[in-house]
Amino acid sequence: MIGEMGIGIDIIDVTRFAKIPYAEKKDFYKKIFLPSEIKYCLKYKNPYERFAGKFAIKEAVQKSINESISPLKIAVSHSHSKPQVRLLDKKKTDYLFIASISHDKKLAVAVVIAEKILKNVRK
């Protein structure tokens, strides 16, 4: 059964992350990104495009569900080049997400559609 749906969009200036070098400010990144997300971003020549993109997705998720949630409770992974989103907050596991992301050297943008799963709905 289709439940309440929401959409979120966010755009980030990549230079916001590029100005905060990971090697010097690891604690900053650890407050926003999960270890698996950091590892994913750091394997690229310009990890800041990926950091900005993942941050944009996390912001778009919050907008799509209309709730403030810690970025560490939003897991962003990649499967076949598509971003996958999962909430790690046990009280908010009843959502499905569709996410899209695009980035270049200057900007990262993400769009997220959220669907709240209805439980125990009788026909």
Contact criterion met (CB below 8 Å) for 113 and 17: no
pTM of the model: 0.90
Question: pLDDT-based confidence at 120, cuts 50/70/90?
Answer: low
Per-residue confidence (pLDDT) for residue 123, from 0 to 100 = 54
Q: Over range 18-26, report the average pLDDT.
A: 96
Share of the chain above pLDDT 70, in %: 95
CATH number for the region 5-116 comes to 3.90.470.20
| CA-based max dimension of the chain | 56
pLDDT in tens, 60-77: 999 999 989 999 999 999
Domain segments of the chain: what residues? 5-116
